[in-house]
Structure 1
Amino acid sequence: MLLLASFTASAQRVEGTRAAARGVYSAEVEVNTQNAAERDTGFARALAQVLAKLSGDANAASQPGMAQALRRAERYVEGFDYRQDEGVSASGAPSFDTMLVVRFDQDKVDSLAAAMGLAIWPQPRPKPVLWLAIDDGSGPRLVGLPKAAAANSTLERAKKRGYRLGLPNGSAAEQAVVGAIWRGDTAAVARASRRYSPPMQLIGKLYRNGGGWKADWVFVDNGKVLSRWSEEGSDARQVMATGADGAADALMKRYAKRSEAGPPGTYRVAFSGLDSADDYVRLSGYLQQLAVVRGITPLSATPQSVEFNLDLVSGLSGLARMVEGGDVLVASGSGDPVDSADMGVDGGVVDPLDSPLPLPGESAPTAYRLR
């Protein structure tokens, strides 16, 4: 019986991890119609959300090369559905919003992130406790589970950043922690949070500030203060949401790991197996659609092969990751780095179009064969 209980608990933990991963690789975006053009735009916005959750970086989709990947976001889609959300317009009449719910292929998205050198925040992710005290003019009060709606903007922003926040139960003893929150006593808050796991606390106080609101935040991980920041604005909900952003930034900085990718630059690559002009067009089109390729410069050509200088976002390793598992190219060899001494030019500047050898600092041609 004990063994069965242990197995069940283990299965629940595994399933919980899988469910969390599925949440990271799915997104919902509002669309105006269900036509193909609107859907493609929705796929791009959804993929941007997934990349932000995967890395914990709200600006992940803005990194070099990502714009090209977003334009072809449908390549990474595993499935999608539509949902109608009913609401009430400003005039009081019923309104209906169409939501595009997109599920992305985890392996394909992971491959894209690795090829682009994106930092990945691994699963399972911690669920810090949000200790938030609000003073609207009648004295500070703790936001506990019974009043969770008051912190909804913070909780929802955390989900968009790829993690979740918990709330204290809000017992009378925990209500007394408000004083420690207000004076910035992180040690006292950490002691009150010992019953919760993990030992991470997002501590915030929100209060009136002139005609608006201000929030002071501290993020603590196992007793260590990782970050302090303040935000202010006219909308209390927006100011509260910044707590989740700051915590995500601190967690990402500490726990996200960047994939091993090569340095950006220009690399010489050879391609064989071209039997016709159509093969050349197919190869060129394929390379132009790869997110890691920023530019292509022809160097030389024979009846069955070509050599290009490829301007790559994440080096040859990034190119290899994007090509691996595809049905267009297969690696057929690689060369070794060379320097100017190997070129016999005494360190002079050589036009790559005039020389069959790589420029200093480049890699020798990496060879691929067209399938």
Structure 2
Amino acid sequence: MRKLLRHGLASKVLALLMCALILPAQARVIPDLYEVVEAVPSRGAMDRASASSRGLERVFVRVTGDATIGDNPQLKTVLERAQQYLQGYRYTREDNQLYLHLSFDPQAVSDQVHTLGLPMWPNNRPATLVWVAVDTLQQGRSALREEQYPELYAALEAMALERGLPVDFPVMDLNDQRNMPLGNLWALDERAAERASVRYGPDATLMGRLLEVSGERWQASWLLIHGGRSYAFDASGTSLEEVALRGIDEAANLMAQRYAVRPSGDSGPRGTVIVEISGIDSFADYTEASAYLQGLAQVSSADLLSVDSDRMRLALTTSATLQKLRDALALNRKLEAGADSDPIDLTGYRAPLGSADNPLHYRWH
């Protein structure tokens, strides 16, 4: 997680970067889902075991996308044996506090997710741009800036890391202020969000307005915009930080609901979806596209059916719903979805989308 478009870049490099950012963003792979840090009172074995259990629960929250997964009785025995899933650990000390850095084995955790039939949220996740406006009793209304609220920014990034949701924040320079006027941000204006977010190329946009009602009462309205859909939700609490963190937390819940799949099939038995990809101009394109499809958590196998000129047709075996599969494919900016043809023959038969007679169409860039 980082601030984007830092100042000081050479103008030529910046221009090239801006051109690249106009393209649809590609999902960001989260590399540290399986690494956590726990505060511990000592280096003793009991404290290490307790911290390992807490840390593994946090990992399961990130991997499944389910913030309440720790309440699952199936997970209790796994958490009790948390140290069996460790790849390594080390200690550090800061301000007289001892910390235990834990690294868990991704394959071992994934195997347990599969065994227990838990949802799996793949680690290629939508990068989310966060715009926030704050209205306080003393200072009035303003767009949230890191310089004004450094501790809140740190808390938001920590929550995003905890949930495994990649987030970025606008730099709020003159361009951002012009493209996202404060009034539009407070109104949670979707058109303004689309216009102002172009320079960052996010997969999703999260807008929030946080209102101080009284000294110990805050209210917030949030809007998550992603994949042609909008999700509105509210939050209330006793502090600015509380209602702000709930925005990140609920955004992660919504993303996980959209992209998480159960290894055993959260939508019934496995089925086959036919996909046709054009724009395959070289063996490198073929290799990259095939490897990408094979690596999708929603796909158990991708079998090549035919190659014709620059087109290849594949059969994807999946237990995910067709919509979840299409959502996952939409996260790769090299795949541009074509229009659904939905052909109907003379008898009135409508070929199902994703069938051999009506495959999903994409173009590789």
Secondary structure, counterpart of 1:102 in structure 2 = strand
What does the per-residue CA deviation read over 1:124-164, in whole Å, with 9 as the maximum and x for residues that have no partner? 22220000111223332222455562433222111100122
TM-aligned CA deviation for residue 31 of structure 1: 1.1
Q: Report the equivalent of 1:48.
A: 57
Matched, 1:35 2:44: yes
TM-score, scaled to structure 1: 0.60
Q: Report the equivalent of 1:125.
A: 125
TM-aligned CA deviation for residue 238 of structure 1: 1.7
Q: Report the equivalent of 2:220.
A: 215
Deviating above 4 A after TM superposition, structure 1's stretches of 4 or more consecutive aligned residues are 144-148
Paired positions, count: 235
Matched, 1:82 2:87: no
Secondary structure, counterpart of 1:209 in structure 2 = strand
Say if 2:40 and 2:100, in contact at 8 Å, map to a contact too.
yes
Quote the Cα distance in structure 2 between the aligned partners of 1:243 and 1:130: 10
Quote the Cα distance in structure 2 between the aligned partners of 1:189 and 1:223: 13
Secondary structure, counterpart of 2:202 in structure 1 = coil
- Structure 1 gaps of 5+ residues are 1-15, 87-95, 263-371
Q: CA 1:39–1:84 in structure 2 vs 1: closer, same or farther (change >3 Å)?
A: same
TM-score, scaled to structure 2: 0.61
* Aligned partner (choices 156, 167, 171) of residue 169 of structure 2: 167
Secondary structure, counterpart of 2:125 in structure 1 = coil
Rg larger in 1 or in 2?
A: 1
Say if 1:57 and 1:249, in contact at 8 Å, map to a contact too.
yes
Q: Report the equivalent of 2:98.
A: 98
Q: CA 1:74–1:158 in structure 2 vs 1: closer, same or farther (change >3 Å)?
A: same
TM-aligned CA deviation for residue 39 of structure 1: 0.7
Counterpart code for 2:252: A
Secondary structure, counterpart of 2:90 in structure 1 = strand
Quote the Cα distance in structure 1 between the aligned partners of 2:164 and 2:77: 23
Counterpart code for 2:220: A
Quote the Cα distance in structure 1 between the aligned partners of 2:183 and 2:252: 25
Say if 1:115 and 1:261, in contact at 8 Å, map to a contact too.
no
1:316-355 equivalence runs, <5 A: none
RMSD of aligned C-alpha atoms? Answer: 2.0
Q: Report the equivalent of 2:115.
A: 115
What does the per-residue CA deviation read over 1:221-271, in whole Å, with 9 as the maximum and x for residues that have no partner? 03420x221112222112211111010011001011111179xxxxxxxxx
Q: CA 1:261–1:69 in structure 2 vs 1: closer, same or farther (change >3 Å)?
A: farther
What does the per-residue CA deviation read over 1:189-247, in whole Å, with 9 as the maximum and x for residues that have no partner? 1221112122311100111112322111111103420x221112222112211111010
Q: Report the equivalent of 1:181.
A: 185
What does the per-residue CA deviation read over 1:63-102, in whole Å, with 9 as the maximum and x for residues that have no partner? 231011000111101100111121xxxxxxxxx2111110
